[in-house]
């Protein structure tokens, strides 16, 4: 009696009319009875796509291939050639093996036995393999084009940003848009408000009830201002409602970028002035060093050792509170945070987009390196200048809350996180310097940042 292997597979890419694995097995058994064959092995791969674009391997199909040379089976029963393999090379190898080991193939939908030693039979199944592979390629192209198109058009994709839920067409179940999830979006708003207020990422995450990692991830996601960053670095407007304002998103990301530039992890800094203050003699940054259990500030090259660090911190605190109290200091910042600042920020965006575009062109081989270097030489300094101007004109987020003057500055200061305090010092000073004793009595000198519009204090 002819012993037959029954191959059954269901793939999610088959649409609604696809027979299930059990239906395929049942049909296969019926065929075997009609043919007078004996089914001695069943090879089923549930819900795995057979195309080369599928991630999942098909263990049962692989196992069958290994058994063919052993002549364990005289025949293989399949629902249709696409149930075998969509991968052309794989299918061709299967046909060759069946021919080499004289294994017959019965295709249920064709109601036919193929004997591959007959050239015509071989050609029919090989052609079917080409058709299946072609369909699979086409589908993959369509899917890829579809996703790229949806991305560029700002349409929602399968993965939904935190704080949103999918809206589906009740008729066909297709994804039509995103809606704000009240509970989760409240978390997003809370997180941004806390970071905007100068809380450390760790504290902001804790208050929001999420991990620090997730907080960093969310804070940098432009989906909350209804934007998407494309692979080429450009941004597109998306077709859903923003959860937070663009201004707040920008402020929060400036804070995070400043921390990154300062070489400290947001929310991880322990001393007020480390890497913020400089050595007056050699200009190296001041770091902290503990001697005899007392923390002090030390020039990285060793010119100054100031101890205790706490005393320097208190002096800086007194100085900044005095500065905040002086009428006009904050107000002058605030006055400029309008149209002028907006223009300056637009200029930064314009220049960075041009630079990113040039880098993208170079990366994709459309621009020679020399040309990119030329563009970087031109745009680099202009961008730096524009950034500095935008920074001058924009009221630093950390100063914002002192602007209201509803409470004593010292009360606000005391509630601030260390990171926020450092931000405040960075925002309103040009330099904080420590000098060796031999200079001016080892005192730190704070140079205040001039207020915008050239009105010096
Ligand atoms: Zn020094």
Nearest to 51 by CA among 78, 86, 11, 94: 86
CATH number at residue 31: 3.40.50.1390
Residue 369 within a domain: yes
Most confidently predicted of 139-148, 253-262, 301-310, 415-424 = 301-310
Is the pLDDT at 268 greater than 50? The verdict is no
Q: Residues 6-65: pLDDT tens digits?
A: 998 875 544 445 678 888 899 999 999 999 999 999 998 875 555 555 545 678 888 898
448, 428 Cβ separation under 8 angstroms: yes
Q: Which of 194-203, 277-286, 405-414, 434-443 has the lowest mean pLDDT?
A: 434-443
Ligand 1 midpoint to CA 8 (Å) = 76
Residues with CB under 5 A from ligand 1 (ion): 279, 281-282, 284, 299, 301, 303
Do residues 220 and 180 both lie within one domain? yes
Cα dihedral angle (142, 146, 152, 157), rounded to 10 degrees?
-140
Mean pLDDT of 255-261: 66
CA of 282 to the centre of ligand 1 (A): 4
Q: Which of 148, 180, 201 is the last residue of a domain?
A: 148
Most confident of 129-133, 142-146, 190-194, 372-376: 190-194
State in Å: Cα 312 to ligand 1 middle.
17
Q: What is the largest CA-CA distance in the chain?
A: 106
Parallel, antiparallel, or unpaired: how do β-strands 75-78 and 429-434 relate?
unpaired
pLDDT at 86: 64
Reported as a pLDDT band with limits 50, 70 and 90, residue 180 is: very high
- The residues facing 296 across adjacent strands are 289
Number of domains in the chain: 4
Task: Kindly give the distance from the C-alpha atom of residue 333 to the centroid of ligand 1, in angstroms, as a whole number.
Answer: 32
Average pLDDT over residues 235-249: 88
pLDDT at 433 exceeding the cut of 80: yes
Helix (H) or strand (E) holding 68: none
Predicted confidence at residue 224, as pLDDT, reads: 95
Cα of 427 vs centre of ligand 1, distance in Å, is: 23
Bridge partners, 278 (sequence order) = 285, 433
Residues 166 and 222 in one domain: yes
Distance 418 CA to ligand 1 centre (A): 25
My answer on whether 226 and 115 are in the same domain is no
- Both tokens assigned to 194: 């806390």
Distance 283 CA to ligand 1 centre (A): 6
Q: How far is CA 327 from the centre of its chain?
A: 44
Cβ atoms within 10 Å, residue 455:
12
Residues 293 and 249 in one domain: no
Distance from the alpha carbon of residue 376 to the mean position of ligand 1, in angstroms = 33
Residues 372, 406 within the same domain: no
CA of 272 to the centre of ligand 1 (A): 19
Q: Are strands 286-291 and 278-279 parallel, antiparallel or unpaired?
A: unpaired
What value does the CA radius of gyration of the chain take, rounded to a whole number of Å?
34
Mark whether 41 and 141 lie in a shared domain.
Answer: yes
- Mean of the pLDDT values across residues 378-406? 76
Q: Which has more pLDDT, 439 or 206?
A: 206
Domain of residue 189: give its range: 153-266
DSSP 295: E
Which one of 393, 411, 435 terminates a domain?
393
Check whether 311 has a pLDDT greater than 80.
Answer: yes
Same domain, 56 and 181: no
Residues 305 and 413 in one domain: yes
d(CA 229, CA 428): 32
Q: Beta-carbon neighbour count of residue 198 at 10 Å?
A: 26
- The whole-number pLDDT of residue 31 equals 93
């Amino acid at each position: 009696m002819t012993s037959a292997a029954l191959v059954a597979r269901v793939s999610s890419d088959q649409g609604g009319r696809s027979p299930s694995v059990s239906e395929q097995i049942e049909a296969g058994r019926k065929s075997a009875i009609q043919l007078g064959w004996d089914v001695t092995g069943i090879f089923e791969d549930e819900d795995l796509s057979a195309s080369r674009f599928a991630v999942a391997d098909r263990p049962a199909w692989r196992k069958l291939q290994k058994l063919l040379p052993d002549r364990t089976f005289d025949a293989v029963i399949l629902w249709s050639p696409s149930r075998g393999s969509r991968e052309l090379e794989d299918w061709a190898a299967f046909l060759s093996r069946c021919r080499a080991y004289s294994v017959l193939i019965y295709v249920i939908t064709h109601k036919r036995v193929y004997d591959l030693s007959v050239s015509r039979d071989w050609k029919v199944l090989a052609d079917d393999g080409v058709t299946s592979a072609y369909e699979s390629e086409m589908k993959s192209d369509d899917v890829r084009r579809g996703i790229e198109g949806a991305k560029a058009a700002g349409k929602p994709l399968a993965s939904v940003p935190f704080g949103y839920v999918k809206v589906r067409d009740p008729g066909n179940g297709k994804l039509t848009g995103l809606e704000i999830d009240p509970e989760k979006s409240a978390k997003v708003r809370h997180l941004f408000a806390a970071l905007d207020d100068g809380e450390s990422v760790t504290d902001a995450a804790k208050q929001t009830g999420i991990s620090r990692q997730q907080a960093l991830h969310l804070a940098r996601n432009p989906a909350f201002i209804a934007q998407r960053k494309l692979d080429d670095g450009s941004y597109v407007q998306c077709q859903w409602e923003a959860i937070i304002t663009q201004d707040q998103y920008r402020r929060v990301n400036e804070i995070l970028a400043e921390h990154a530039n300062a070489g400290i992890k947001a929310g991880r800094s322990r001393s007020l002035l480390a890497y913020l203050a400089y050595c007056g003699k050699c200009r190296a940054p001041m770091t902290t060093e503990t001697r005899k259990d007392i923390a002090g500030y030390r020039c990285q090259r060793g010119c100054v050792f100031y101890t205790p660090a706490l005393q320097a911190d208190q002096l800086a605190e007194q100085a900044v509170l005095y500065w905040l109290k002086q009428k006009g200091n904050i107000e002058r910042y605030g006055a400029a945070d309008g149209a002028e600042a907006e223009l300056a920020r637009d200029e930064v965006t314009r220049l960075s987009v041009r630079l990113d575009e040039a880098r993208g062109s170079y990366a994709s081989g459309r621009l020679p390196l020399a040309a990119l270097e030329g563009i970087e030489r031109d745009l680099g300094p202009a961008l730096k200048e524009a950034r500095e101007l935008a920074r001058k004109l924009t009221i630093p987020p950390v100063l914002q809350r002192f602007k209201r003057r509803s409470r004593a500055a010292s009360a606000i200061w005391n509630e601030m996180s260390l990171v926020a305090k450092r931000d405040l010092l960075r925002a309103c000073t040009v330099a904080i310097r420590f000098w060796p004793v031999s200079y001016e009595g080892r005192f730190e000198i704070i140079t205040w940042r001039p207020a915008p519009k050239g009105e010096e204090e």
